[in-house]
Amino acid sequence: MRNYKIGPKLGSGGFGLVCEGTRNEDELKVAVKISVKAPNMPNISVPGHPNRLPLEIGLTLMANKGPSAPQIIQLLDWEEETDHYIMVMERPSPCMDLLSFMELHGGILDERTARYVMRQVICAAKACFEKGVFHRDIKPENLLVNPDTMEVKLIDFGCGALMKKSAFKDFCGTEQYFPPEYKFKGTYHAKPMTVWSLGIVLFEMVCGDFPTAGDLYLIAANIWTRPGLSQECCDLICDCLQPKPKKRLALKKIHLHDWFEVC
């Protein structure tokens, strides 16, 4: 940490805290995350690293590997200690999380803005899967937005997992974004779960809240609409929030939906 100047706190939670930072050699603005190691915190093997790494560090390194994905936060440096680890990440300036950005705009985004954000979030999710990473906690609080450029970056891989084709049984993430199959069967698959969470994020952006039981009933029947929203937007929400995973729009096809063709 002697290579960085630590500034004011940006946020905190059960994991620890995030502070502003500046790299001494070139005055680069960074974010410094200090996380306490949980008693049973998993470690994973990452190609190119001889020792197993804390899950969050390993997954972030994997998500950064290979072709650049500008929609994913870049890990610049890290350090592991006995009871905690430190991650130094890029810090876009200016930036705020998507939830704060929505609140700045009255809690609801117009479709044009939501579409621009959604394209980037989909790209981030797809890039993670291509690199073997299942983020598992895509939500407005984990999406940074630069209000000047509208660039979006996915952050916080602490709830993630290594990608696998078989079902997941463990719960890790945020309850409001977990799909119905987990509640009813206790299992879920990575890509359909991600499509569900993307649908919830889109619903939040254009409606300002989570869908109610009544909304979900109409969505399941593909007859949900909302005054002021285009039919294409309502259709995409219905396609992402189908209760049966096999009926949801495939992640690889979301960007081809008619809603993204609207000017």
CA-atom Rg of the chain in angstroms: 19
Helices (H) and strands (E) in the chain, counts: 7, 12
Secondary structure (3-state) at 78: strand
Catalytic residue, candidates 77, 97, 137, 239: 137
**Residues 97, 75: Cα–Cα separation, whole Å:** 18
> What string of DSSP letters covers 169-209?
-S--S-GGGS-HHHHHHS-B-HHHHHHHHHHHHHHHHHHSS
Is residue 137 annotated as part of the catalytic site, yes or no? Answer: yes
Pair 64, 75: CB distance under 8 Å: yes
Q: How many angstroms separate the Cα of 88 from the Cα of each of 35, 55, 91, 175? A: 11, 15, 9, 28
Contacts within 8 Å (CB) and 24+ apart, 34-43: 34/84, 34/85, 34/86, 35/84, 35/85, 35/86, 35/87, 35/158, 36/83, 36/84, 37/82, 37/83, 37/84, 37/85
Secondary structure (3-state) at 12: strand
Residue position matching structure tokens 């602490």: 158
The residues annotated with a catalytic role in the active site are 137
